[in-house]
Structure 1
């Protein structure tokens, strides 16, 4: 299955292209970044909302139309063709839990429009018990699959009854579906919904939190839960996305950025890199109007215009994604804890007879791990030992 080899580069198009209220062909902006994603090591382009919306893309007004701030059908078809020509799969963001209040079918609103998404008055929840809503979602998904889309991120899946997806989504193509889940029973939701995967927020939180708190016991516990999920599905993994504070901002000690990335790329999952994180972009998400702006900035016209200080982080991503590409079995690997203290951790990820060993040290002293044939690891460093 191709998703076992997928490594996504995630883009929030409205922010990335600096979209303003004016109509323009901004999707073409992304074309100059496709080779950059390939050079990074990614083979998938995970797009945020591209459908016509009122403001930020998650207040959709028409799922069959490209947002005029981004371009038109021809721009979208060209982007798909350019991506596929480079071997990049393309995923779209399906916002089907809620729509804009100006959406053309208010008779599909749940409780007549009284139910909103997390109190946002302009984001009106759809009635997922209505067969017409299921038919509409299926028609939308099939329409864009026919236009070349390979995968779908299903926004706010956790607020949608899981059975809805099983009924609505077309299954006659080699399409990969993953839902946005934050809390809850991940495996149970996958089984009931028929989705291929969900987002692994538990692991995301454990990675940065254990590094900040110098408490690898938290990560060890989370990895045990992560392993158990593999009995049902392969999670979609990340250390950053368009909804959370940038990793370089979140980590209290910048020396631990490599630790977080090494964990991401050596444990099971279908990983994604949020555009800009590979350049150590900073940005704080705030709970206010416009609070996402700092984590969804505009990008320059081409990679050549990026600031040079991001290059070491870019090269580190290349190195670790290279490990992942050389060891594709890591997608389904189980990870065992070989050594554990608050500030040092040895993780062995294995699949069959293959394995890699990751040594993590976030203490202020050099650490010698009680494992055979392992080198000492300097303070605030990590070491990855792979088989040839």
Structure 2
């Protein structure tokens, strides 16, 4: 097994966390990255073993319009600063992965600047997609080109050009030789060319043992990207959505159904998260803040690799705005959260879960088996080498009892509370506190834990308020009983981009799936995928699926949820 199979990730958006200027004037470097050095000890203290940090390299604005892949953004410092930062992480046993923005570049990238200067005679003309000197754009270049997401600030690279492939692969080699990076998160992986990703995978195998490639994918059958030829993992947006809406709607069926749906894709080690730099903070999303606890118990125990976005371990707010993501990417001073592990119930929980995860191999490698499921209670097992670990969560305002089939041992212990229960008749009878969760392990299989106890803040508060001031430690209330303030439910990135496809409340004993659209779309077989509309591509993909076997409602939902043209084109081509 590899390091990433057991990893617990911490995610930093460095331009935001360091308070860097929004615009890069390419002036002398300012070593803001060095202000993040104290965060390394914090990352280790809360039990994280890997860091995803990015974007890092020279750009003009938010970081995803790269202008130089081999130079740390001037607003963050120098290459030497980055080299020292990664080295400091490695000294603490923390692996590091960078953001790889390889689908597009910024307009200040050398190849695009050459096209602006030399036009039809530029040797880099074929480095980009569909450069057309019969067109124009808002920058008055006198030519048009393909972009990402409708933004001409982001110029789409021609990933089928061998020169572009070789250049990006050389960038990866440079990052390993210069900074000793351990992997890459590929931005916009759902629109990357599959042959290009295969080239990246070959390079990954060449540059470093266990070099990890993880891709940003919103929708689709994740096995198209996660396999032996392309990527090791992708972002698990399906589970992200289920975790917050399943709790807000008191519907554990949605979460359990999503887990089964993902399991049907194969044994994929997906990158699990409850928030990131593109979606609202989980603390803002939850209608009842007490649900922070069961949400994170599931994040750390369901199949996949858990990740915490910087600041969310403190329970901070972050509401997505129409024209800005600044509130999702704030500057934070670590000194403001001193002793958070001891005094902040959210941080205490995350640190406890990190410790449990590190000492419980079944949570990284074990099989998954559903044990009990209602709208408000959910239990499952992770089994490995004869050891059964049992996870219980409760989204109700009252405690709930569960009778669950146990492993071959005499006694179980709750790792978060220290509660011990005997196995009787092959089962354990446990009580799960209101709005909480617990991880039960065979007694003797785990180190003894001192339960983390916290005072419970008030359950209601204004939506705009942040978590209460640090709370004092009490002796009678376990960590998973944390009841935090209530606030409005918010929607995530994917749902905001496609509100008409957002799942509504789920109250039945199966996750709801949308009906197939009434509109009939006829697909012209002579059309190229690039010329098809989104609706035509969706129908064409469903037809391809039907050739391979029955098409379920969930498969239809996955197709109709994907409204990104480039992603659908790649999906359609993958059937060939």
CA–CA separation in structure 2 for the residues paired with 1:88 and 1:383? 27
Aligned residues: 383
CA–CA separation in structure 2 for the residues paired with 1:313 and 1:196? 30
Report what 1:329 is aligned to. 362
What is the deviation of 1:229?
4.0
CA–CA separation in structure 1 for the residues paired with 2:36 and 2:103? 27
The structure 2 residue matched to 1:35, chosen from 41, 44, 50, is 41
Question: Does structure 2 conserve the Cα–Cα contact (< 8 Å) formed by 1:96 and 1:137?
Answer: yes
The structure 1 residue matched to 2:294, chosen from 235, 259, 270, is 259
Secondary structure of the residue aligned to 1:122 is: strand
Question: Does structure 2 conserve the Cα–Cα contact (< 8 Å) formed by 1:344 and 1:361?
Answer: yes
The structure 2 residue matched to 1:58, chosen from 55, 60, 64, is 64
What is the deviation of 1:208?
0.8
Report what 1:152 is aligned to. 184
Report what 2:19 is aligned to. 18
Question: Does structure 2 conserve the Cα–Cα contact (< 8 Å) formed by 1:333 and 1:351?
Answer: yes
CA–CA separation in structure 2 for the residues paired with 1:199 and 1:7? 14
CA–CA separation in structure 1 for the residues paired with 2:262 and 2:364? 12
- For residues 86-124 of structure 1, the C-alpha deviation after alignment (integer angstroms, 9 at most, x for no partner) is 111111000001111222213222111522111122111
Secondary structure of the residue aligned to 1:248 is: helix
> Any residues of structure 2 matched to 1:333-344 within 5 Å, and which?
333-344=366-377
Matched, 1:139 2:170: yes
Matched, 1:379 2:434: yes
What is the deviation of 1:190?
2.0
Report what 1:363 is aligned to. 396
Question: Does structure 1 conserve the Cα–Cα contact (< 8 Å) formed by 2:377 and 2:393?
Answer: yes
Report what 1:114 is aligned to. 145
Report what 1:243 is aligned to. 278
Matched, 1:304 2:335: yes
CA–CA separation in structure 1 for the residues paired with 2:437 and 2:148? 42
CA–CA separation in structure 2 for the residues paired with 1:328 and 1:92? 26
Report what 1:91 is aligned to. 97
The structure 2 residue matched to 1:219, chosen from 255, 271, 274, is 255
CA–CA separation in structure 2 for the residues paired with 1:199 and 1:276? 19
- For residues 162-186 of structure 1, the C-alpha deviation after alignment (integer angstroms, 9 at most, x for no partner) is 2211124412122111111110121
CA–CA separation in structure 1 for the residues paired with 2:312 and 2:400? 29
Secondary structure of the residue aligned to 2:322 is: coil
What is the deviation of 1:225?
2.2
CA–CA separation in structure 2 for the residues paired with 1:8 and 1:227? 22
Secondary structure of the residue aligned to 2:293 is: helix
CA–CA separation in structure 2 for the residues paired with 1:80 and 1:363? 43
Report what 1:349 is aligned to. 382
Question: Does structure 2 conserve the Cα–Cα contact (< 8 Å) formed by 1:163 and 1:192?
Answer: no
The structure 2 residue matched to 1:68, chosen from 74, 97, 120, is 74
Secondary structure of the residue aligned to 1:152 is: strand
Matched, 1:190 2:226: yes
What is the deviation of 1:354?
2.1
Question: Does structure 2 conserve the Cα–Cα contact (< 8 Å) formed by 1:223 and 1:335?
Answer: no
Secondary structure of the residue aligned to 1:241 is: coil
- For residues 113-159 of structure 1, the C-alpha deviation after alignment (integer angstroms, 9 at most, x for no partner) is 52211112211111111111111110111100112001110011001
Cα distance change of structure 1 residues 192 and 39 upon mapping to structure 2, 3 Å threshold: closer
Question: Does structure 1 conserve the Cα–Cα contact (< 8 Å) formed by 2:403 and 2:428?
Answer: no
What is the deviation of 1:193?
4.6
Larger radius of gyration: 2
User: Which ranges of structure 1 fall in alignment gaps of 5 or more residues?
Assistant: none
What is the deviation of 1:378?
3.1
RMSD between aligned residues: 1.7
Return 11-20 or 355-364, whichever deviates more. Answer: 355-364
CA–CA separation in structure 2 for the residues paired with 1:60 and 1:81? 24
Question: Does structure 2 conserve the Cα–Cα contact (< 8 Å) formed by 1:13 and 1:27?
Answer: yes
CA–CA separation in structure 1 for the residues paired with 2:288 and 2:18? 31
CA–CA separation in structure 2 for the residues paired with 1:363 and 1:168? 46
CA–CA separation in structure 1 for the residues paired with 2:90 and 2:247? 38
Secondary structure of the residue aligned to 1:52 is: strand
- For residues 303-354 of structure 1, the C-alpha deviation after alignment (integer angstroms, 9 at most, x for no partner) is 3322777721111001111110001332232322211111111121222312
CA–CA separation in structure 1 for the residues paired with 2:154 and 2:228? 26
Cα distance change of structure 1 residues 260 and 363 upon mapping to structure 2, 3 Å threshold: same
CA–CA separation in structure 1 for the residues paired with 2:403 and 2:360? 26
Report what 1:271 is aligned to. 306
The structure 1 residue matched to 2:353, chosen from 317, 320, 334, is 320
Question: Does structure 2 conserve the Cα–Cα contact (< 8 Å) formed by 1:90 and 1:150?
Answer: yes
